[in-house]
Amino acid sequence: MPPYYFETAMTTDSMTAHKQLPVHTEHLALGAKMGIFGDWEVPLYYRSVIEEHDWVRTGVGVFDISHMGEFFVRGKSAEIFLNQIVTNQVSRLEDGKALYTPVCRPDGGIVDDVIVYRLKADSFLVIVNAANVEKDFEWFVKNNQTDTVVSNETDRFALFAVQGPRSTAVTERLLEQTVSEMPYYSIRQAAHWKTGYVARTGYTGEIGYEILCPAEQATKIWRALMAAGKTEGIQPIGFGARDTLRLEAGMLLYGQDMTDETTPLEVGLERTVFFEKDFIGKHALLNQKKSGVKKKLAAFELLERGIPRHGYDVYVNGQKTGVVTSGSYSPTLKKNIGLALLEQPHVQAGEIIDIQIRQSQVKAKVVNFPFYKRQKKEKG
């Protein structure tokens, strides 16, 4: 079986100067192999990446994603403000619903991709990528021309993702409330916590829930979660498997598959752009749409041996035509897969491309995206 390599900026160097997750000692006690992701010390894996990946696809696992950022946006103009700063249509959200959306610069480049939850008419929760917390907060404040209050409350919360076919039973046992009827991209308050939420969201392609709880209660809740999932065989899952799961499911990673140098139209996020409203970056994206998108993100699978990595060059007929943004061995498909930003017209399924892997060019085929879709047996 091919060796696994985590391609993102993650190392096992000295970790003394980095932030630690609220349940850091729990991860060490479970035997986690720790590494660095951005400013955070995080679990890479506990047993093996492939074993953990397979367990989420077939059972239930829990990820500690407390490194993610939480902004609360409050005030009578909160909806107006958010509708201006993101590309998606926040005004269509009902209480307890959520949407995925890019945040763009005036030139259309992606500042970040976030999830916006509407808690009530004048109160929203925005989950942002860990590496972008400071940048995003500055961007939100800079572009706030209303009386809306934006607060960065990242340090106040821990965030646990319970994912997999058996995640509903575990989450209901932990929270002592029904969540099975929650539709995808919805949120509700945890019944027995003063400040805590459960959201029907995830980054794996499986049914799952994300539990936001006060940081000071994180250890207690983590232990309760592990106990609640004992019958279902819950296992802690590291960031290595999180990467392979999201790649198979067609979920993009900021900093690799999209950056501030790419636009939503280039990375397949057209569905999240509503030109019927005003938002930062609208005019640039309209111009790009009218003139034609010159490069697009495409999925591929290797036809020969090798593992594609972020930054590897892509060629067609000897001419460089793009670059790999993400790549890995797929434990589910038993293939080497990846994403690449390619010049048009080389993004159509069936196109043969060559990827420069070390000293050789390895053939690959453009395929439809995503690589994996779960068979839906539950609502959502």
Annotated binding site for substrate: 210
Type and span of the H or E element at 54: helix 49-58
> Two tokens at 55?
């367990």
Q: Please, what's the b/e burial string for 310-338 (b: 16 or more CB within 10 A of its CB; e: otherwise)?
A: bebebebeeeebbbbbbbbbbbbeeebbb
Q: From the CA atom positions of the chain, what is the Rg in Å?
A: 21
Rounded Cα distance, 164 and 141, in Å: 37
> Two tokens at 231?
């019958």
Q: Please, what's the b/e burial string for 200-226 (b: 16 or more CB within 10 A of its CB; e: otherwise)?
A: bbbbbbbbbbbbbbbbebbeebbeebb
Q: Please, what's the b/e burial string for 141-170 (b: 16 or more CB within 10 A of its CB; e: otherwise)?
A: eeebebebebebebeebbbbbbbbbbbbbb
Q: What is the DSSP letter of 183?
A: P
Please give the single-letter amino acid code of residue 178.
T
> Two tokens at 186?
């919805």
Q: Residue 95 in contact with residue 121, Cβ under 8 Å?
A: yes
Which residues does the annotation place in the binding site?
210
Distance of CA 162 to the CA centre of its chain: 14
